[in-house]
Amino acid sequence: MSALRLRFLGVGNAAAHALGNAAAVLEGGKGAPLLLIDCGPTVLPAYCARYQALPTAIFITHTHLDHSGGLEGLFYRLACEQPNAPAVRLYLPAAIIQRLQQQLAEDPYKLAEGGLNFWDRFQVIPVGDHFWHAGYLFDVFAVSHHAYRAAYGLGLRDRFVYTGDTRPIPEALAQFANGGETVFHDCALHSNPSHTGVDDLSIHYPDELRARLVLYHHESADAAATLRAMGYDVADPGSLYHLPAGTKGSETELRSA
């Protein structure tokens, strides 16, 4: 099975500017970026600094601007600096597309001269429960973030689950993280109606699952240190995680005809 890694570009919540907006990159062989997960305002500079290129494929978990606001900056980079570059593949849970249209794409004069739609520089791929990318079949599932079907997690069987912003989701993880996957989970010191707090973990998740958690989307470096002192793995900006190898039949590699 091919080697995969997940690298965090930022790990902070919306107010933790020093930690960067929470976002991660699925990397393939030799560290090549395959898929960017979320694109808040701080993410594009971090991505370019790491990979010396613009992203070519992105999955957006939800429409809060610390997870999607960087798409506007990417549009301008593509429109003004790389007008002949291929459109960026943008995987969007179907339920969030209308809101993204309202937030980012309604203005017909994104460029002063007009003549270009926001989506012209993206290949928008609406997704439901699954989508294919780079030869892998990804799972997409609703999480619990302030409203019904407002946010979505991403998984790759036997490899990883990335919750995005969420309250605890034991039923979803029982379905999508039952094969030894590394689980990257929203968690701060204190819970609120939209996010998980550390006390929630022991209430909702068994010990075996908590041992596989990597926490992110916290409020400060001090909070991260406290979470680590409690025995949890906590991501920092730049943290790199080698993912489980997977099992036969858990993935399909695309091959050239």
- pLDDT, tens digit, 9 for 90 and up, residues 175-222: 999 999 999 999 999 999 999 999 999 999 999 999 999 999 999 999
Distance CA 156, CA 149 (A): 20
- pLDDT, tens digit, 9 for 90 and up, residues 63-111: 999 999 999 999 999 999 999 999 999 999 999 999 999 999 999 999 9
Residue 170 CA, chain-centre distance (Å), reads 19
Residue 119 CA, chain-centre distance (Å), reads 20
Question: 168 near 201, Cβ under 8 Å?
Answer: yes
- This prediction has a pTM of 0.95
Domains and CATH numbers, the chain: 5-242 (3.60.15.10)
Sheet of 240-242, strand order: 122-127, 88-93, 57-59, 33-37, 23-27, 5-10, 240-242
